[in-house]
Amino acid sequence: MVLHTPRGDAAIEAAWACREQAYAAYNALPDNNGPVVNGYGPSEREMWAIIDEAEETIRAAVATTARGAMLQLWCAMYNSVSGREDDEAVTQGDFAAIDRKDSGLDWNARLMLAAIRSLQAMEA
């Protein structure tokens, strides 16, 4: 399903905000948050369900602005980095933090970073 949003990239922006809130809540969870089933506690499963739904909205939409396309690329970038520090930088859209690691990223992540850089230049 492809979502065409009538107000620019409102659906992408809203999903990104929802995703950010869910990641913040997930990262604030205590290490022991209930019975673990299939590797996740109950609160973890809830946060991942919200994140997955938000990312699916972002993936399914057709961006109409540079900002919308950048948010789609940030979601893709999240799946190309490893480590909590990198995860947090990507979740927050911290371009400078990820750009400093450019040479240590895999080729796909470096290409996404280049596209984000280009889109940022278009917005300026």
The percent of residues above 90 in pLDDT, for the chain, comes to 42
Whether 38 maps to a domain, the answer reads yes
Prediction pTM value: 0.82
Counting Cβ atoms within 10 Å, is residue 54 exposed (0-12), middle (13-18) or buried (19+)?
Answer: buried
Q: Specify the number of domains making up the chain.
A: 1
For 52-101, how does the pLDDT look when each residue is reduced to its tens digit (9 = 90+)?
A: 999 999 999 999 999 999 999 999 988 877 666 677 788 778 888 888 88
Q: Is residue 63 part of a domain?
A: yes
Which domain does 81 fall in, by range? 10-123
Return mean pLDDT, the chain. 85
Whether residue 46 lies inside any domain: the answer is yes
Residue 1 lies in a domain: no
